Structure 1
Amino acid sequence: MDWEWTEEQDLLRRSLRDYVRDRVTPHVLAWEAAGEVPRSLFTELAQLGVLGLRLSPEYGGGGQDFWYTVVLLEELMRCGSLGVPVAVMAHSEFATMLIERYGSPALRAHYVRGAAEGRLIGALGVSEPDAGSDVAGLRTRAVRDGDDYVINGAKLYITNGTIADYITLAVRTGGPGARGISMIVVPTDSKGLTRRRLRKLGTHASDTAELFFEDCRVPAANLLGAENDGFGMIMSGFEGERLVLSVMACSHARLLFDQARQWGHDRRVFGHPVLGFQVWQHRLADVLTRIEAAEALARRGVDLYVRGRPAQSEISMAKLFATETARYVASECAQILGGQGYMEESLVGRLHRDALAMTIGAGSSEVMRELIARANHLIAQ
């Protein structure tokens, strides 16, 4: 859908489009084969001034609002590999944003500045083998011992987990439930931390890890905010994370549609272009309608978020609808390509398998429906 962008945002978009075309897209297949993006991606984005778009200028960030993140996401998504923007967002929007908001001046000076400059790579460590969307059920424990915390437990499905220099980690410092959770920054060279890379069906350019903490000792000064205040910090970050997923899903679906439409004009069957048949004209009309609706919901969520308005329901709707639309669009667009849509060498084939994770990350579709129901008085007493 069309949107009114500022001149500065348009300039940023053009700069990013050139960069992605020349420096990212030619390498994504190699990065997917390697299972990670190179550190040079972070340093180059930092040199462009976009790695810390929303971080404080005091620590090397851009001090911009979320609309600039939308531009960054939409242009990164053009590379055709979902893992690339996932790795960048996990670093800048997820892991580092919490340190920016709640960290001490010393933590911000070291980690936020290092993140904005691309010298340090971050990861957010919340999900566990027995606690994903149920954040309040996490078990990894940190016990105070003098000037340190000693951490024991495990984390699962952690984006950037094997390439990160620091983990913004959710731990249990108190009793059961939401009130016993804290956030602490763990350097990945800490003794007692081991990491194992996981193999996934998609988003191959973004590494995903399982983390193990065995008597891992971390300075107490690395605690974010006050002890046992971590649950609120995690929740405060979820709105931004869900908007990130919403925008990525819309861009993902739009790229799939563009590929399928071109194929429909170029590919001939029974002597006619595929889009000479009404069935595919109508199916792609449905696809485009869903994409436009998803983009409108996502834009609405971003607008409320930027203006500081309560938006949990609208953002949950955007995340739910956009990510489920991406999966629907991926299936439809893979179908029109036939066998080509099932090939790893095909962009549509790769986008199809990448779409599978979108309805899970940053809160599953089921959690989004529950949040929408609670916010709109849909639960009978």
Structure 2
Amino acid sequence: MGETPHTVTTLPTARQPGCPFDPPAELTDARRHGPISRLPFPDGHQGWLITGYDLARAVLADSRFSSRKELMRHHPLIDYGDIEVPPAPPGEFLLMDEPQHGRYRKPLVGKFTVRRMRLLTERVEQITADHLDAMEKAGPPADLVTAFAKPIPAIVICELLGVPYEDRGSFQENIDKFMNGETSDEDLMAAYTATQHYLAELVAAKRANPTDDVLSDLTDSDLTDEELRGVALILLAAGLDTTANMLALGTFALLRNPAQLTALRADPALADRAVEELLRYLSVAKQFHRVTLEDVELGGQTIEAGTTVILSLNTANRDPERFPDPHTLDLRRQSGGHLAFGHGIHQCLGQQLARVEMRVAFLALIDRFPTLRLGVPAEEVGLRPETADIFGVKSLPVTWDS
């Protein structure tokens, strides 16, 4: 029997006023009590909250902690009663364990290697330049989300997967409804249905007339059309939303830390470290959920089989035992080993693509607009709700000297 654990009465969702980049203060406080806390759920289930780096990393690498959707019957903010959760649809491998997960992921690994993603750099540079040209031509002010942060990763991932450019707008709008944390259940289902219908037509088109893209390549595998739709949905949603929010929130963080912005502008060679530090500091993918498949000893506690465990990645990436002075944005920091892309078998497949996009986009933006600054007081920047899967800003008004 371990020590009596700290208890967090409910999963905190409110960030401190004026501190949009920091995790909710209650989460940071929980980590100070220790890396693992009790967390009661609204339906009465007694779960656990992991806030420490070492324990979070260990759980992500441990096959006794499941990602299967049908086991996720407990939500930290919602009481679903006796509703049974169905398994993940075919192809949606993020919510699966081995061997199902590996069957979908394995054909994709070679498509997202470091080398292949670096070969995309020139195209990312051109897409970025085109959007900066449009911003400059239109003149200040601008919403950096719609003018820059969303369209760049959207075009890149759509080209990579073979989504026609003219379809990007409506598709991106539906993906945003999945991820923004504010869509009603009715609108969410409508967006999901429309996306599935679109992807069905796209898969059929790729089978009939393959082109030079990832989705066409996958039609040569043993995946069914339904499975291809699921894989495409995961890749598009992840490729659109996470990077877009990193670009917008990352720019916000740089503008609020002018000394760091000046350092990056003066020394572009800092770009790789800057990207890793922003990933660590912001941790836009805030939480992962796992369920124990058997009794597990963790952090001096016994976690019984069938228990829901929430991994607070934003506090794990701010753990002072792993990252000294963790609440300071330091672009010269060696931030390697952060958990912003997860860890273990579910570690983000597109992380190298995201790194290329961020490195190119941040450097090009601050070079093109040396006087870039917020167009509204920082406290007026609209933040996504904590209920969103990916944290970020709704819009980022900026201006500059013409």
- TM-score class, shorter: under 0.3
Question: What's the TM-score once normalised by structure 1's chain length?
Answer: 0.27
Question: What's the TM-score once normalised by structure 2's chain length?
Answer: 0.25
